[in-house]
Amino acid sequence: MRAKTIGLIAHTGKAGVAELARAVVNEFAARGIEVAVENATAALAQQPAGGDIAAIARRADLIVVLGGDGTILNVVASAGEELKPIFGINVGSLGFLTCVNSSAYREAVEAMVSGRIAYSERALLAVELRQGERTLSALHALNDAVISRGDVSRLIRLHARVNGEPLTEFNADGLIIATATGSTAYSLSAGGPILAPDSGVFVITPICPHVLTNRSVIVG
């Protein structure tokens, strides 16, 4: 797929990102590709503003993210249902989810314009926080969602269901519900397994469970 409109979103707190954003815009413009620049990124790079993250995702065929893994995770959460394929250019400290380092931005632009990039499909979590029939919050997550005991100084009891059917009860400090992509993050630190990125399954990992038999459960 060759993108006709590129969305550009950057971590504005990173050194040198303004210059990189301008350079990326110029590279695409030289090839006749429209670039919609997210508001904060546009202000920093002195480019026309194209809207917030959700608006950029709505307009773009492909989203270029300048930053690290945290920036990509934030874009996924903010874009929600409007999310498009993401190409990450690493200017952060962690770049497991990014495609290239910032020094290779010209080659990256050429690959995107010519369609010489491969797409990797990843499962997302759709998370809702409800109180009775009322939805208090809803978002999407690429890595994981965490239910924590917060300030409570004792274990919490959690009843887990899959597709409406009872799974098990966890007595723990909390639960991590991770995608295959997120299985190498918090869930792994809590003793969970590593899942193949394109497996499409999820893992439920208890945090400091009271019972030794309460371990990670993989669900499809």
Q: Could you give the residue numbers annotated as active site?
A: 69
**Residue 89: half-sphere exposure toward Cβ, Cα within 13 Å:** 26
Dihedrals φ, ψ of 95, to 5°?
Answer: -135, 40
Alpha-carbon distance of 61 to 3, in angstroms, equals 5
Dihedrals φ, ψ of 82, to 5°?
Answer: -85, 0
C-alpha torsion sign, points 204, 206, 210, 212: positive
Token code pair at residue 166: 């009872």
Amino acid at 64: V
* Rg, Å, the chain Cα set: 20
